[in-house]
Structure 1
Amino acid sequence: MDEKEVIIIVAIAIPVTLVIIVIVLFSVFARRKNRLLREQEEAKKVFDRELAESQIEIREQTLRNISWELHDNIGQLMTLAKIQAQMSLEKPEMMIEVSETIGTGIDELRALSKLINPEALKSLSLKQAVSLEIERFNRLKFIAAQLTVNGNVFPIESNTQIILFRILQEFFSNTIKHSKASSLKVVLDYTDEKLTITAADNGIGFEKDDNFMGIGLKNMITRAKLINSFLKIDSVKGEGTTLHLTYKFA
């Protein structure tokens, strides 16, 4: 094989090799792109599923709250007003008490109407939604609850807000049902970069191997990851439980 033939072969081989390399690289890129798209689609499906479940759980919790308030609070007030009205037939001066009891019932109904209207709930900010929960706990004397808001309230995308609120609602539910706590303190700390949420009760606490919060705790952790948040639960037996959640705005 003379030098000319070698040059011709090399001249042909180089572009062919380059074409093969380009085809291989394109194939690898296409596969990676398709895999990434599939992962993104799956992540979106997971997020949408968790969002839908959170919305359903919030509605169910809202309906339970309404049921409790109608039966245990407003129902009792109306029963008391009826008894007072009957007694006022013999003691007219009791009509003042009847009026006060009915007035209290009307105030409770107004507060309850905020929960009944789903569109109103959708339009609430995280701060407003948490405030309503805290007000309800105090009004019904479930627990002595306190909300502190630090910094300038930063707007949060509505779907993310729903998941954040559901995480907190799950913690509140566990506190009231299981912790035997007398106080609950919630802090929303806003900065330009992030929102830090702390919720602490002074209940019986639990140890890590107790699996105290079970599926509820797992759901909270899963949902926090979906919105790229860091969630940690600290608890000390006999001292209480604290939720720490950090959500970065960008």
Structure 2
Amino acid sequence: MLGDRVREMAAPALLEHYLGISRLLAGQMEFRSAIRAVAAEISHIIPHDHLDVCIVMHGGTYHTAYENGIETAWGREPPALVSGSPIRALLWGEVPFMITGDACVDPRFHFEGAFVQPILAHGLRSRIHVPLKVEGDIIGALSCSSFDADVYTRADVESARSVADLLSPYFFALRAAGQAQRSAIVEAEARAREEGLRLGALKLTEALERERQRIGMDLHDQTLADLTRLSRRMERLTREHEVSGETLEPLMRSLQHCMQDLRQIIEEAKPSVLQLFGFAQAAENHLDRAVRDSGLPLAPKLLDETAGRIDALDPTVSVALFRITQEAINNAVRHARADSITVRLSLRGEGISIEVSDDGCGLAKPRRRAGGGIDNMKTRARLISARFTIGPGRDGRGTTVGVQLAQPARLPGTVAGGEA
């Protein structure tokens, strides 16, 4: 029989073949090339007509076969369920090895759902299978097959185990490297999708900002003008027709409030101060107006330590930072019960830092979900790849909202004068 020649081989010759397997594995970077590189040396130890290694994938549900000799459906198919493998008992650790004189009729290989077509199609009769193990865990199996019946004996099992011991650590490393590569690809694809979504959101934000400004101009040119004419007409009616001022006074007061609110909406919809005079002036203007309109005895202060670099930002980034600053100021005025509010614009390395601090009551106990204003600030910061923070002030009092922009350069895909 084929095995007799191996069993009669001198020990030094066997050792040389084992050493040859180790040498040939070195430098192989994937399973198929590795098994093909060592197949000839293995044939001197365990003669075979077909050699394959199956590797159990992480999780243990699927496995993949790599072949040398005959190309069968095992090697051509995508990863298959371990539960359908003819040697599933070995891969599950239920038996220490499998050996058969004729796999074509051996009932251990034939069960419902078993993928035995290659055994029958190619007449792989004599078969020997041993597990590939690393630290006691089965990572796959080494299989040798012959067209002839009754070729292998228990002595061949020991030889196959010795070969498997050489292969196991190397194939384990290849499996780990493959898993790491797949994880890196998945992560890179996820980052690419996230970046695509971010840029898409920036383009949408640009369109929304333009529409917001258009609405502001329309309100100014049409609606506010109409309300102004209506106010003047009511004043004229009062004078010319001796309509009681007491009758119209509530209506006039409501109309004036409406016009004041509308002017505020227009100003916020189209930050003209930002566009005309720069970020620091726009932020200071909003801070002063918010404090004045609140009627509270607050002391507002703005510190600009950027030496004008904040005005070199892309308009997309500048508008987003201004909206965040607006929201942070509004929250401090409305909720902090503070004595003072400070806006600090500073340089941080190559980036820009904005902090809105107050000395008020501080944040409430953490809630399961942040408020809409905080969510909006976080979203705006994420869209321009800025870091958003909110927490206690530096001395433990009040609240500080911070935005850090790492690289105040033009964003890829942005358009001058608007967000992209």
Instruction: Name which of 330, 346, 363 aligns with 1:189.
Output: 346
How far apart, in 2, do the equivalents of 1:13 and 1:213 lie? 59
User: Which residue is 2:378 aligned to?
Assistant: 221
Number of residues of Structure 1 aligned to a counterpart in Structure 2 = 219
| 1:47-97 per-position Cα deviation (integer Å, ceiling 9, x unaligned) | 23553565466457656766786767995599569969xx9xxxxxxxxxx
Describe the shift of the 1:77–1:230 C-alpha distance in structure 2 as closer, same or farther (beyond 3 A).
Answer: same
User: Which residue is 1:10 aligned to?
Assistant: 19
SS at match of 1:207: coil
Question: Does the 8 Å CA contact 2:353/2:402 hold for their aligned counterparts?
Answer: yes
1:31-180, aligned counterparts within 5 Å? Answer: 31-48=182-199, 50-52=201-203, 54-55=205-206, 58=209, 62=213, 76=228, 79=231, 115=270, 124=275, 128-129=278-279, 131-132=281-282, 134-135=284-285, 138=288, 142=293, 147-154=302-309, 155-156=312-313, 159-175=316-332
Q: Does 1:198 align with 2:355?
A: yes
Q: Which amino acid in the other structure matches residue 407 of structure 2?
A: F
Instruction: Tell me the CA shift for residue 243 of structure 1.
Output: 2.0
SS at match of 1:208: coil
Instruction: Tell me the CA shift for residue 150 of structure 1.
Output: 1.3
How far apart, in 2, do the equivalents of 1:48 and 1:64 lie? 24
Instruction: Tell me the CA shift for residue 203 of structure 1.
Output: 7.2
How far apart, in 2, do the equivalents of 1:210 and 1:72 lie? 40
SS at match of 1:8: helix
Instruction: Tell me the CA shift for residue 214 of structure 1.
Output: 0.7
Aligned alpha-carbon RMSD (Å): 5.2
How far apart, in 1, do the equivalents of 2:381 and 2:209 lie? 16
Instruction: Tell me the CA shift for residue 44 of structure 1.
Output: 0.8
How far apart, in 2, do the equivalents of 1:25 and 1:212 lie? 39
Question: Does the 8 Å CA contact 1:195/1:249 hold for their aligned counterparts?
Answer: yes
Structure 1: gaps (5+ residues): 88-107
How far apart, in 2, do the equivalents of 1:201 and 1:68 lie? 34
How far apart, in 2, do the equivalents of 1:131 and 1:209 lie? 34
Q: Which has the larger radius of gyration?
A: 2
Question: Does the 8 Å CA contact 1:230/1:247 hold for their aligned counterparts?
Answer: no
| 1:163-205 per-position Cα deviation (integer Å, ceiling 9, x unaligned) | 4333223324445666688975422122544423122457776
User: Which residue is 1:90 aligned to?
Assistant: none
Instruction: Tell me the CA shift for residue 217 of structure 1.
Output: 1.1
How far apart, in 1, do the equivalents of 2:219 and 2:301 lie? 21
TM-score w.r.t. structure 2 length? 0.38
How far apart, in 1, do the equivalents of 2:13 and 2:235 lie? 116
Higher relative contact order, structure no. (Cα contacts within 8 Å, ≥ 6 residues apart): 1
